């Protein structure tokens, strides 16, 4: 497997691979989100208790799940950058952090909008809500630390350590509704076993969930490419890419640096 | 091997390295007494601001006393964190620790212990007096002391990670609080909940056990994270 992955440690190969998979993520997210959201918002049956305001579920739950998954993905990238010194993993961690932060903010805002008609309040200091808010602060701390260093390599390592320390919050969010008896309702959708909802409500949810997932993947591809380009801006292949000139004079002199990767 | 021959070979045992670092930090702190006393004064002044701002009714104060004391303790610890590695970083002794044959774990543990002795312990000693001023119910005193005793080391351990990450940055103070305060929230939640439970004369073992778990977790894991962060910051 390492042999298969090895070429992708080269930023140029990774860049072009990302370029290839990017349109597929974009296409999938457009298809899934347009069908899923239309089905969810217009045709799915209203909930017997919550009526139509239940439909915010289709945005709230995918973004909440993604906020946690993206944090875990970022932490795994940070770990592989710290332990195995994979330099591109830094770029992907840096690419993922703001996306995760935005999804956390979406989950919090849609949660507040859903809480007003259901609980009669925009915000309660409930375990699930508070731990999700802490997740947002953790994301912002990681991003702030990343921006505080001039040296991108140091920034990646420092932010990586912080994101690994913050992983402790993820199980707390995940199990908060089970550990504490709080206002937030229990898990509706579980990976294993039957969901506790009707199939005609569940299918649009799946479409929305994978749609948002592909959207996150699409944005992650764009951000990753930008990170790779900005970190390799002195490399000949980037210059060739930008100018479109294959016979630039610097190419021959810098050929060795290019072969060295990173 | 005896201590003398150890010293001759230029190698310190782990215990010696720990004690020397601890002693050195304490001596440095005692020579700059203002830096040691300022966080404590800050703690006292912040607490006196609350009765003035909220109103001096004993009932109100008793209700919010655990939160006030703990939030002030968090802020006072935060204030003192900035200088935990700063002086050592600027005069180069931090690099000496990094390249010494002893594991970095020993030095970071000693430095964090010194930090707690200088900031956490004074807070614990002055806390009962402030609790009296805030009309804290008598039955929650033991809970207050126990949570502070177990919780303030956690603040030093977690805070040291943030301090180590920001030591290379020129104006790291605000960033430090942004990084560290979210990680302090669990301690705050369980400590104040324990004191509240105690004021109702109910058992608070559960919350105390969680704080103890946080204490042992941070005691064993934080020095590694601090070491890794220091290696990054000093490049």
Over the stretch A19-60, which tens digit does the pLDDT of each residue have?
Answer: 889 999 999 999 999 988 888 888 777 776 777 777 888 889
Residue A182 pLDDT grade (very low, low, confident, very high; cuts 50, 70, 90):
low
pTM of the model: 0.82
Q: What is the pLDDT along chain B (235 residues), one digit of tens a residue?
A: 455 555 555 677 888 888 998 999 999 888 888 878 888 999 999 999 999 998 888 888 888 899 999 999 999 999 888 888 888 888 888 888 888 888 888 999 999 999 999 999 999 999 999 999 888 888 889 999 999 999 999 999 999 999 999 888 877 778 898 899 999 988 998 898 899 888 888 888 888 999 999 999 999 999 999 999 998 888 7
Over the stretch B88-101, which tens digit does the pLDDT of each residue have?
Answer: 888 888 888 888 88
Smallest CA–CA separation between A210 and chain B, in Å?
A: 30
Whether A176 has a pLDDT exceeding 90, the answer reads no
Looking at residue A246, its pLDDT comes to 60
Whether A251 has a pLDDT exceeding 60, the answer reads no
Q: Which residue of B has its CA nearest to A164?
A: B225
Q: Which two tokens stand for residue B129?
A: 């007096």
Smallest CA–CA separation between A166 and chain B, in Å?
A: 7
What ranges do the domains of chain B cover? 18-234
B75: CB partners within 8 A, 6+ apart: B42, B43, B46
Cβ contacts of B162 on chain A, cutoff 8 Å: 162
Contact A134 B185 (CB under 8 A): yes
Looking at residue B7, its pLDDT comes to 52
Contact A157 B182 (CB under 8 A): no
Contact A141 B165 (CB under 8 A): no
CA A143 – CA A157 distance, rounded (Å):
12
Over the stretch A99-144, which tens digit does the pLDDT of each residue have?
Answer: 999 999 999 999 888 888 888 888 888 878 888 899 999 999 999 9
Q: Which two tokens stand for residue B211?
A: 């704080």
Integer Rg of chain B from CA: 19
Phi/psi at A47 (5° precision):
-70, 145
* Residues B86, B167 contacting (CB under 8 angstroms): yes
- Nearest by CB to residue B232, choosing from A137, A138, A157, is A157
Smallest CA–CA separation between A70 and chain B, in Å?
A: 19
Contact B225 A161 (CB under 8 A): yes
Whether A177 has a pLDDT exceeding 50, the answer reads yes
Mean residue pLDDT across chain A: 82
Contact A137 B178 (CB under 8 A): yes
What whole-number percentage of chain A has pLDDT above 70? 84
Q: Which two tokens stand for residue A180?
A: 């504490």
Give the residue numbers in B contacting A (CB under 8 Å), as ranges.
Answer: 158, 161-162, 165-166, 168-169, 172, 175, 178-179, 181-183, 185-186, 189, 225, 228-229, 232-233, 235
CA angle B36, B190, A78 (to 5 degrees): 80
Contact B172 A162 (CB under 8 A): no
Contact A162 B161 (CB under 8 A): yes
Q: Which two tokens stand for residue A170?
A: 């993820």
Looking at residue B170, its pLDDT comes to 78
CA angle A251, A252, A253 (to 5 degrees): 95
Q: What is the mean pLDDT of residues A219-237?
A: 88
């Amino acid at each position: 497997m390492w042999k298969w992955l090895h070429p992708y440690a080269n930023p140029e190969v990774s860049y072009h691979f990302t370029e290839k998979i990017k349109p597929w993520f974009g296409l999938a997210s457009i298809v899934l989100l347009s069908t899923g959201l239309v089905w969810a918002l217009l045709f799915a049956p209203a909930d017997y208790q919550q009526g139509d305001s239940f439909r915010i579920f289709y945005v709230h739950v995918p973004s909440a799940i993604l906020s946690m998954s993206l944090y875990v993905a970022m932490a795994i990238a940070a770990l592989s950058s710290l332990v195995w010194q994979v330099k591109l993993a830094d770029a992907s961690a840096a690419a993922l952090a703001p996306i995760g932060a935005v999804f956390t903010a979406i989950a919090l805002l849609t949660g507040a909008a859903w809480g007003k008609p259901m609980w009669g309040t925009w915000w309660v200091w409930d375990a699930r809500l508070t731990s999700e808010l802490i997740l947002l602060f953790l994301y912002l701390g990681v991003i702030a630390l990343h921006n505080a260093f001039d040296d991108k390599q140091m920034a990646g390592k420092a932010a990586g350590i912080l994101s690994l320390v913050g992983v402790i919050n993820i199980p707390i969010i995940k199990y908060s509704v089970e550990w504490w008896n709080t206002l937030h309702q229990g898990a509706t959708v579980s990976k294993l076993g039957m969901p506790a909802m009707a199939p005609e409500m569940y299918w649009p949810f799946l479409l929305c969930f994978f749609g948002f997932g592909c959207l996150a993947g699409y944005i992650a591809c764009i951000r990753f490419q930008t990170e790779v380009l900005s970190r390799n801006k002195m490399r000949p292949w980037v210059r060739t890419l930008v100018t479109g000139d294959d016979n630039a004079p610097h190419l021959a002199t810098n050929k060795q640096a290019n072969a060295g990767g990173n | 091997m005896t201590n003398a021959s150890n010293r001759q070979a230029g190698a310190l045992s782990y215990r010696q390295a720990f004690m020397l670092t601890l002693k050195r930090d304490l001596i440095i702190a005692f020579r700059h007494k203002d830096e040691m006393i300022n966080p404590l004064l800050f703690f006292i002044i912040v607490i006196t601001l609350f009765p003035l701002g909220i109103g001096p009714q004993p009932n109100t104060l008793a209700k919010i006393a655990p939160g006030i004391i703990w939030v002030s303790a968090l802020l006072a610890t935060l204030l003192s964190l900035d200088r935990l590695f700063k002086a050592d970083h600027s005069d180069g002794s931090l690099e000496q620790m990094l390249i010494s044959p002893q594991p970095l774990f020993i030095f970071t543990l000693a430095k964090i212990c010194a930090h707690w002795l200088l900031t956490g312990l004074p807070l614990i000693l002055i806390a009962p007096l402030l609790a009296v001023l805030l009309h804290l119910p008598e039955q929650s005193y033991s809970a207050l002391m126990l949570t502070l005793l177990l919780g303030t080391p956690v603040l030093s351990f977690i805070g040291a990670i943030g301090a180590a990450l920001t030591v290379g940055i020129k104006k790291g103070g605000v960033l430090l609080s942004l990084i560290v305060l979210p990680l302090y929230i669990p301690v705050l939640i369980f400590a104040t909940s324990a004191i509240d439970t105690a004021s109702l004369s109910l058992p608070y073992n559960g919350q105390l056990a969680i704080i103890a778990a946080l204490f042992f977790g941070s005691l064993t894991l934080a020095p590694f994270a601090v070491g890794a962060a220091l290696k990054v910051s000093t490049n």
